[in-house]
Structure 1
Amino acid sequence: MKALSVRQPWAWAIIYALKNVENRGWPINYRGDILIHAAKTCTKKEYQLAREFCQGMGVVIPELISLRRGQVIGIVTIVDCKFSQVASGWGMAGQYHWHLENPREIIPIPYIGRLGIFEVPDDLVMEVAA
């Protein structure tokens, strides 16, 4: 199954706080389900900036130490992708907005993430998503 690494706390927000846009500098033609992998790396500064942004969106995120990292934490459906020069909601200006729906939590799967879209073996995912 296709997967995308997302730094925390953004990965958490996609699965648990209805973050319905993923901002990327590149478009995606794929439509359908994709695993959300919580990247292993997150600095305190990145976390603090994200926390402030999320608070502005009315979302209180967990403390950095309690966020899962280096694991696949959920599945979401990519339904569209559009470039936008305007910021709105979760979308940042000058980025491709990957529009997301139907976030689902799964039993976390320890996994090494990669840049871009990558594959996670289906048998590994089916064990925990069932």
Structure 2
Amino acid sequence: MKAITIIQPWATLIALGEKRFETRSWSTKHRGPLAIHAGKKIDKEACEVPEIKEALARHGYTGNNLPTGAVIATTNLERVYPINHHAEHLNLASSINEQGDIEEIFENNEYAFGWYEEGLFAWKLDTLRRLTGPIPAKGQQGLWNWEGVQP
């Protein structure tokens, strides 16, 4: 199964179902199963952003008890959207197709949980399966192969 390493708190936000899009500077042709690996780094400053802090607290997490160095969920990478409209003052971004139609709008907590500048990509995740406990694994950059428990 393909896997992606994501620093905390974003990996846990995905595993909890609070974050449905992972924003990246690169696209991928991969579609299908994807393991979410919580990297060893915790962005403590991000854990204090009100929207993130509140989402973590709803599930009993803080910046001090997030799992690290482990696969914590599996999901399905359904689609990758290019971000081509960004209105920071409105706290929203969107993907607009070649015909000029809005394909997806990223706003509210989803906007607060990602990096939605024009030229980046939003990976739509669905069919989330949170693992019963973290499975230790060494992460890598980019997509990598994880041989652990399959969904």
1:52 maps to which of 29, 50, 53 = 50
For residue 118 of structure 1, what is the aligned residue in structure 2?
144
Deviations 1:55-91 (A, max 9, x none): 6xx7344211111011000001110001113322225
2:129 maps to which of 92, 104, 110 = 104
Equivalent-residue separation in structure 2 for 1:101 and 1:83 (angstroms): 18
Query: TM-score, normalised on structure 2?
Result: 0.72
Q: CA RMSD in A?
A: 1.8
Structure 1 gaps of 5+ residues are none
Q: Which structure shows the bigger proportion of residues in helix conformation? A: 1
Structure 1 position 53, deviation (Å): 4.1
Count of residues in correspondence between the two structures = 121
Moved more, 26-35 or 13-22: 13-22
Q: Which structure shows the bigger proportion of residues in strand conformation? A: 2
> Is 1:3–2:28 an aligned residue pair?
no
Structure 2 gaps of 5+ residues are 87-92, 94-105
Equivalent-residue separation in structure 2 for 1:120 and 1:96 (angstroms): 23
Query: Greater CA radius of gyration, 1 or 2?
Result: 2
3-state secondary structure, aligned to 1:5: strand
Equivalent-residue separation in structure 2 for 1:112 and 1:17 (angstroms): 23
- Conserved in 2, the CA contact under 8 Å of 1:32 and 1:79? yes
Query: TM-score, normalised on structure 1?
Result: 0.82
